[in-house]
Amino acid sequence: MGGGILVKKLYAVLGDPIGHSMSPFMLNDLFSFYNMDSVYLPFHVKSENLQDAVKGLKAVGVGGFNVTVPHKSNIIPFLDGIDELAENIGAVNTVVNENGQLIGYNTDGPGFLKGLNAILPNLTGQKVLIIGAGGAARAIYFTLAKENTQRLDIANRTMDRAIGLINDCPYSVDSRACSFEEAIESLGEYDLIIQTTLIGMSPKIYEQPIAINNVRNQSVFCDIIYNPLETQFLKDARQNGARIQNGIDMFVYQGALAFEKWTGLFPDVERMRDNVLKQLGGKTC
C-alpha cells in the first residue's frame, strides 16, 4: 500500500481534573462534521507540569488548545503573547498557534455575551447585576463593561472581592459592590441578573445564593451552571415571571469562538448544543 500516514492536526484541553470535560465530544464532532483532519484530546496536566505540557504542545505543532481549571491564570507566563481582554481578565481559556507563537485569548466572557445576545440583543441602558466575584464573574464583568450598560453591579459574599474586581477593570462603567442582602432587596431594579457562583450545582441542587421574590417584568435571569439544566435559582426566577437562560449557551459559545479562532469558521451552534445536551442526557430549559 502506498501513501503516507495522514498527520492530523492536534487540538487539546488541559486541566486538572479533566475527565468530566464535554469539550472533546463537542469539538471532535465539529472537526468530523466539517471534514477537518484534526483531533481534540483531553490531557490531565498537574500544575507542576503545566510549563512542560505547553512546551511539548508547541514542539509538536499543536493547532491550538483550551485551558481549564486550575490553569487559566497560571498558563499566562508560559505563552508567547496574550490579547488585551484576556490580559485584563487575567485568564486564558483558548490558545491559538499563530505561526509558531502560542497566543492566549479568553472566550468565556465573549461566549457568555454571544449566548445572551440570542435572547437580549442589546445591553445598552440595561441595569445588570452579577452574583459572585470569582473567575467566571471576572470574565463576564470585563466583557459586559464594554456594552454600554446603565449599571453593572456585583453582589458577593465577600464584598472586598467584588470591590477589587470593579477596581481592576480598565473599562469605564457605572458599578457598585453590594452584599447578598442588598441584592435581595434591590433585585426588582435589574433588567439582567447573572449567577456566576457554583452554588446550586449538582449534587447540591437545592441551594441558591440569594432568594428571589421581587422580579422586574421581562427581566432576564442567567445561570452559568448547566448541571442541572435548571438550577433552583432559575426555577424561582421563572416562577416569578422572568425569562431564563442556563449555562449551556455560555459553554457552547465559548467553544464556538475557540473553534472559530482555530479554523476561521464559526460553527453550527445548534449542532453543538444538541451534542452537549445528548452528553448531559437531558433537555434544555
Query: Which sequence positions are flagged as catalytic?
Result: 72
- Minimum CB distance to ligand ATR, residue 137 (Å): 6
Give the footprint of ligand ATR on residues 45-64 (CB under 6 A): none
The radius of gyration computed from the CA coordinates of the chain, to the nearest angstrom, equals 19
Our CB check for ligand ATR shows the closer of 63 and 255 to be 255
Q: Does residue number 133 form part of the binding site for ligand ATR (CB under 6 A)?
A: yes
Segment contacting ligand ATR (CB under 6 A): 115-123, 196-204, 249-257, 260-268?
196-204
Q: Which residue's CB atom is positioned nearest to ligand ATR?
A: 134
Sign of CA dihedral 205, 210, 215, 220: negative
Q: Does residue number 263 form part of the binding site for ligand ATR (CB under 6 A)?
A: no
Our CB check for ligand ATR shows the closer of 90 and 134 to be 134
Our CB check for ligand ATR shows the closer of 189 and 207 to be 207
Closest CA to 44 of 65, 13, 78: 13
H helix intervals, the chain: 23-33, 50-59, 84-89, 108-117, 135-144, 159-168, 180-186, 232-239, 248-263, 269-280
**Rounded distance between C-alpha atoms, residue 248 and residue 50, angstroms:** 28
**Rounded distance between C-alpha atoms, residue 107 and residue 85, angstroms:** 9
Our CB check for ligand ATR shows the closer of 70 and 81 to be 70
Segment contacting ligand ATR (CB under 6 A): 11-19, 126-134, 171-179, 213-221?
126-134
Q: What is the side-by-side strand order in the sheet with 9-15? A: 38-44, 9-15, 64-67, 94-98, 101-105, 81-82
User: In the complex, which residues of this chain contact ligand ATR (CB under 6 A)?
Assistant: 132-137, 156-158, 161, 196-197, 199, 209
